[in-house]
Amino acid sequence: MKSYLAAAIQMTSQPDLESNLIQAEDLIELAVRRGADLVSLPENFSFLGKEEDKIAQAEAIAQKTEKFLTTMAQRFQVTILGGGFPVPVDSGKVYNTALLIAPSGIELARYKKVHLFDVDVPDGNTYRESSTVMAGSELPPVHSCPQLGTLGLSVCYDVRFPELYRHLASKGADVLFVPAAFTAYTGKDHWQILLQARAIENTCYVIAPAQTGRHYAMRQTHGHAMIVDPWGIILADAGDTPGVAIAEINPLRLEQVRRQMPALQHRVFV
């Protein structure tokens, strides 16, 4: 593993696949121009609309999104995480799927989100992700890359379940992805502190691309795509507008923190 720049992209995706992919391409190009070797896109980056529209268009969204990620990785010669998009299953539902693609265009890892967001938020919004999404049944994967370290996958609501990240850390993860479309109401109180907690307790970098702003009807997201270091320090924060958070992933910093705070070696209940 070497030092490199990683990018957490922030978008305001809409119920329009083509325009979302154009926005994503522009932001990927911006990240690459700024030197990023690892680029991550948020949950729902290619489509963020009503659940019934997502299901109706799921096949087209899945096909075009996977092709897009492959094309972008090859064109810009970077590793890309597509942080969450619908992939149809026979039940009439979809898997909320995160996909990691190599610069060659080869699929490195795929994760089907296991924790589904079925919550009545105090701002009046009700979310029932399980109405259209089938929960994955397998623990998230890690992928070991000589240049980038060992990368662990997750999606959004997973961040509230620390055991998932402990699993990734036990598999050797150096970097934890948390692509999200975090609600504006919960995000203002919980987003940053949860990301810092996952980084600190696992002594890992956290890369969290995000959705921001208003998408449709009452759906509004928090923003603040960020990169957090293993000590919990926020290295980059995209604020509340579309853009890119970029920071260095440094193996020497990782080693330093793990040497100073060897909590993973001190676990009693494993």
Catalytic residues: 43, 113, 156
Pairing type for strands 4-11 and 36-41 reads: parallel
Tell how many helices (H) and how many strands (E) occur in the chain.
6, 16
Give the whole-angstrom CA distance, residue 227 versus residue 249.
9
Give the whole-angstrom CA distance, residue 228 versus residue 224.
12
Strands (DSSP E) contained in the chain are 4-11, 36-41, 79-88, 94-101, 107-112, 118-120, 126-128, 142-145, 149-152, 175-177, 205-208, 210-216, 219-222, 226-228, 234-237, 243-249
Do residues 113 and 96 make contact, with C-beta atoms less than 8 angstroms apart?
A: yes
**Taken in order 259, 227, 51, 190, is the CA torsion positive or negative?**
positive
Give the whole-angstrom CA distance, residue 163 versus residue 201.
11
Give the whole-angstrom CA distance, residue 185 versus residue 222.
7
Do residues 109 and 141 make contact, with C-beta atoms less than 8 angstroms apart?
A: yes
